[in-house]
Amino acid sequence: MAKVFVITGPSGVGKGTLIRMLLDRLPQLELSVSATTRAPRPGERDGVHYHFLTREQFAQRVALDDFVEHAEYAGNRYGTLKSELERRTAEGVPVMLEIELQGARQVREKLPDAVAVFIAPPSPDALRTRLVGRGTDSSEEVSARLASAEQELAAQPEFAHVVVNDRLDDAVEELAGIVEAALS
Ligand code: 5GP
């Protein structure tokens, strides 16, 4: 089976930006498109950024055992569909999952060979600055995300690989090193 990579860490830490830069550098990697019940943000497209599902659709897919992992996060449900993972790994394509902590723990149980990397902020304050600054979330959502972030940061010691996203270029370099080593 092809390699599975899990990138986790609190919301606002810059996982998305890091992954985009990593995928530019390592085009053989593919990002799994998650399912969510969250409303699309401006510019987000169904099937590209997420598979946007209603709560009912999501619950049906859970009942059908369609998810590798799923979690409730800041008032919405998120999950990795087995179909997203299996199609790629069956073709030998390494897959990257960008998921929150509860999902990362489920993947660790189910796929012990997956390589998980925790992305940490240079300081807890940096998260607030970024979450407020990107302007995509309401103040209630920012609060919910910061509350989750505390628990997520406490889980950092569970991860063999931790990349501190201080200078973006350095963080990409470090992440690419971990991924390349696992692929070779
Ligand atoms: P956002 O709403 O900002 O796109 O994502 C919120 C959080 O959900 C982020 O930490 C993101 O990594 C996580 N997330 C995105 N997709 C999934 C998924 O499929 N499973 C889990 N467990 N978390 C996800």
What are 9-50's pLDDT values in tens digits?
A: 998 899 999 999 999 999 999 999 999 999 999 999 999 999
- Look up residue 158 and give its two tokens: 């569970």
Closest-CA residue, ligand 1 atom 19, reads 79
- Looking at the chain, list the stretches that DSSP marks H as alpha helix, in order from N- to C-terminal side: 15-25, 55-63, 82-90, 101-110, 124-134, 139-154, 168-183
Q: What are phi and psi of 2, to 5 degrees?
A: -70, 160
Say how far apart CA 99 and CA 104 lie, in whole Å: 6
C-alpha distances (whole Å) from 139 to each of 20, 26, 74, 90, 132 are 26, 36, 12, 42, 8
- Predicted pLDDT at 134: 83
Beta bridge partners of 6: 97, 116
Q: Is the pLDDT of residue 1 over 80?
A: no
The per-residue b/e assignment along 116-134, b for 16 or more CB within 10 angstroms, e otherwise, is: bbbbbbeeeebbbebbeee
Answer whether 32 contacts ligand 1 (Cβ < 6 A): no
Please, are residues 8 and 156 in contact by the beta-carbon 8 Å criterion? no
Closest-CA residue, ligand 1 atom 1, reads 11
Do the strands 30-31 and 35-36 form a parallel or antiparallel pair, or are they unpaired? unpaired
- Predicted pLDDT at 136: 84
CA of 184 relative to ligand 1 center, distance in Å: 28
Answer whether 80 contacts ligand 1 (Cβ < 6 A): yes
How confident is the model over 155-183, as pLDDT tens digits? 999 999 999 999 999 999 999 999 999 99
Q: What 3-state class would DSSP assign to 45?
A: coil
**CB count in 10 Å sphere of residue 54:** 9
Beta bridge partners of 24: none
Please, are residues 119 and 14 in contact by the beta-carbon 8 Å criterion? yes
